[in-house]
Amino acid sequence: MNKLIIIILILIIGCFGGNFFGNFSVSANPSDVSPADNSTLSITRRISQEILSQGRPFINLQELVALGHRLTGSSGAEKAIQWAKAKMVSYGLDRVELQPVQVPHWVRGGREVARIRGQVEELPLQVTALGGSVGTGQAGVEAPVIEVQSLKEVETLGAAIQGKIVFYNRPMDISVDSFEAYDAAVDQRIDGASQAARYGAKAVLVRSLTTLAADDNPHTGVLTYERGVAQIPAAAISTHGAQLLSQSLKKDPALKVKLELSAKRLPDVRSYNVIGELTGKELPNETVVVGGHLDSWDLGVGAQDDGCGVVQSLEVLRIFKSLGLKPRRTVRVALFMVEEWGGRGGKEYARQAKRKGEKHLAAIESDQGGFEPVGFTVQNSSQALRQIQYWEKYLAPLKATQFTQGSGGTDIEPLAEATGAVAFGFVPQSKHYFDFHHSALDQLSAVNAEELHQGAAAMAVLTYLLAEKGL
């Protein structure tokens, strides 16, 4: 009889176990599946299902990008701030705040023209001013061109740079991770102008940082002018244009390029980080913050960078409120302004958190696009990494199970340093992120709604686990 009962129980578990646990990967060892685990599995599964079936991220993204680009100091940025605040208020959050922060006010202007002027032919080049670049004046800049691969090469050439336009033509290495490739090439965009000016260059052209080999859309991004060094005009050139210019130089080393930029820097203006929160039911003075950056570049509408991070972060608190979930700790969404210009918004948030003596347990940032989730990076905490690896069973249905040591993100790194919060970076499948990054291609059409929602669900699940269970 006892053997018959055991056989019946095995058959019942075989028939209904899969339906009970869904797609979650849970050990069959009873000691590994406690009642608390089952309760948490039920909640995280509910969070995921609600976002995947009835989530608002893509609808919110449509609304956000309809406001236009969100370059700091622009009317689009101000509209986005008011839009985000209104969203948080409509969700019935316990607190909504605009946190002031001073931001750069730079305008591109209407003229961005470059032409190859050789002995035989004259050809147009697709260019766009780098963020913060000075203009050329109405007459433009015309000079011979010298092609280089690195800042070190400029130093080696020294006096040969005098009076020329320096053309940085080092491509991103598509054989490695796209963010590693970006980090390895971005110095020419950030520091290339000052390095060239140090040796008397008149302007710089920088190959666009994109994984597209023959793109006609130049990709912008911020540069930094070194104090005490002349400020010269700087423009990104499309990868197709870079190939054309390089080939033309081989045929005609004496050719010149004429560059015209109408960009100019105006006085800084006041803007805001947008903050909203749900107060924790047991540990309200401990905070888990989730966020992305609200500002964008002006060539596209910032759908991938970082509209996706904005709407995913908003969805976390919307779904908690909608489902009546009130974790033990306070959950806060922070939409940072001016990430694209050195992360001033994140630095101001961290400064205020430290001044107020706020205790931040953890922070999660989404700023790598809205593609299918892969997992999360964990910054400078092996203990937190081990903890999140234990939580794999909650994130497995969303395929967000790769957890590695790494940076949390530009906007939350200052917070981690100031308060000791553990920084988590959301990692999606971002192989094609730099196809769109900082260019006119960063449009709503670059975002897949299903993948965007999967990422939002992964962020919401991790936020719940951190706020409920702690580290």
- Pairing state between β 329-336 and 234-237: unpaired
26: pLDDT confidence band, cut at 50, 70 and 90? very low
Tokens of 46: 């509910």
**Are the beta carbons of 362 and 424 closer than 8 angstroms?**
yes
Q: Which are the contacts of 20, defined by CB distance < 8 A and separation ≥ 6?
A: none
Angle at 146 between CA 142 and CA 152, to 5 degrees: 130
Same domain, yes or no: 415 and 286:
yes
Q: Which residue has the higher pLDDT, 2 or 449?
A: 449
Domain assignment present for residue 209? The answer is: yes
Which pLDDT score is estimated for 263?
Answer: 98
Which residue, chain included where needed, has tokens 């033309």? 248
Which pLDDT score is estimated for 1?
Answer: 43
Which pLDDT score is estimated for 4?
Answer: 44
| 417 is known as an active-site residue | no
Which pLDDT score is estimated for 30?
Answer: 37
Mean per-residue pLDDT over the chain, rounded: 92
Same domain, yes or no: 50 and 160:
no
133-171 exposure pattern, b = at least 16 Cβ within 10 A, e = fewer: bbbbeeebbbbebbbbebbebbeebeeebeebbbbbbbb
Q: Give me the mean pLDDT over the 4-17 stretch.
A: 40
Same domain, yes or no: 68 and 181:
no
Q: What is the CA radius of gyration of the chain?
A: 25
CATH number at residue 152: 3.50.30.30
Q: Give me the mean pLDDT over the 338-353 stretch.
A: 97
Which pLDDT score is estimated for 121?
Answer: 78
The β-bridge partners of 271 are 101
Residue 203's SS3 state is strand
Domain assignment present for residue 124? The answer is: yes
Same domain, yes or no: 435 and 458:
yes
Task: Give helix then strand counts, H and E, for the chain.
Answer: 15, 16
> What are 119-148's pLDDT values in tens digits?
777 899 999 999 999 999 999 999 999 999
Which one-letter amino acid corresponds to residue 140? G
53 has pLDDT over 70: yes
Which pLDDT score is estimated for 37?
Answer: 82
Full DSSP string of 263-312: -EEEEEEEEEEEEEEE--SSEEEEEEEEEEE----SSS--IIIIIHHHHH
Q: Give me the mean pLDDT over the 92-105 stretch.
A: 98
461 has pLDDT over 50: yes
How far, in Å, CA of 461 to CA of 46, rounded? 10
109 has pLDDT over 80: yes
Q: Which of 203, 233, 262 is the last residue of a domain?
A: 262
Same domain, yes or no: 86 and 230:
no
Cis peptide preceding 177, ω within 30 of 0: no
Which pLDDT score is estimated for 471?
Answer: 93
Same domain, yes or no: 274 and 399:
yes
Q: Give me the mean pLDDT over the 79-107 stretch.
A: 98
> What are 200-210's pLDDT values in tens digits?
999 999 999 99
Tokens of 350: 């961290």
Across the beta sheet with 256-261, the strand order is 122-125, 112-117, 256-261, 141-148, 165-168, 203-207, 234-237, 127-129
Q: Phi and psi of 172, rounded to 5°?
A: -70, 145
Same domain, yes or no: 200 and 113:
yes
Catalytic residue of the set 112, 260, 315, 339: 339
Q: Which of 262, 280, 299 is the last residue of a domain?
A: 262
Domain assignment present for residue 72? The answer is: yes
Name the residue range of residue 212's domain.
Answer: 109-262
Which pLDDT score is estimated for 213?
Answer: 84
Q: Give me the mean pLDDT over the 355-370 stretch.
A: 97
Instruction: For residue 31, give the DSSP letter.
Output: G
% of the chain with per-residue pLDDT over 70 = 93
Same domain, yes or no: 140 and 289:
no
Global model pTM greater than 0.85:
yes
CATH number at residue 464: 3.40.630.10
Domain assignment present for residue 380? The answer is: yes
Which pLDDT score is estimated for 214?
Answer: 85
Distances, alpha carbon 233 to alpha carbons 71, 237, 258, 299, in Å: 20, 13, 12, 18
Domain assignment present for residue 30? The answer is: no
Domain count across the chain: 2
Domain assignment present for residue 17? The answer is: no
Which pLDDT score is estimated for 33?
Answer: 55
Q: Which are the contacts of 176, defined by CB distance < 8 A and separation ≥ 6?
A: 184
Domain assignment present for residue 26? The answer is: no
Crossing angle (nearest 10°) for helices 178-185 and 187-197: 10
Same domain, yes or no: 80 and 118:
no
Across the beta sheet with 95-107, the strand order is 95-107, 264-278, 329-336, 283-293, 359-365, 422-428, 373-379, 402-405
Q: Which of 199, 227, 262 is the last residue of a domain?
A: 262
Domain assignment present for residue 371? The answer is: yes
Length of the chain: 471
24 has pLDDT over 60: no
Same domain, yes or no: 329 and 438:
yes
285 has pLDDT over 70: yes
Same domain, yes or no: 438 and 331:
yes
Which pLDDT score is estimated for 18?
Answer: 37
Same domain, yes or no: 298 and 429:
yes
> What are 392-450's pLDDT values in tens digits?
999 999 999 999 999 999 999 999 999 999 999 999 998 999 999 999 999 999 999 99
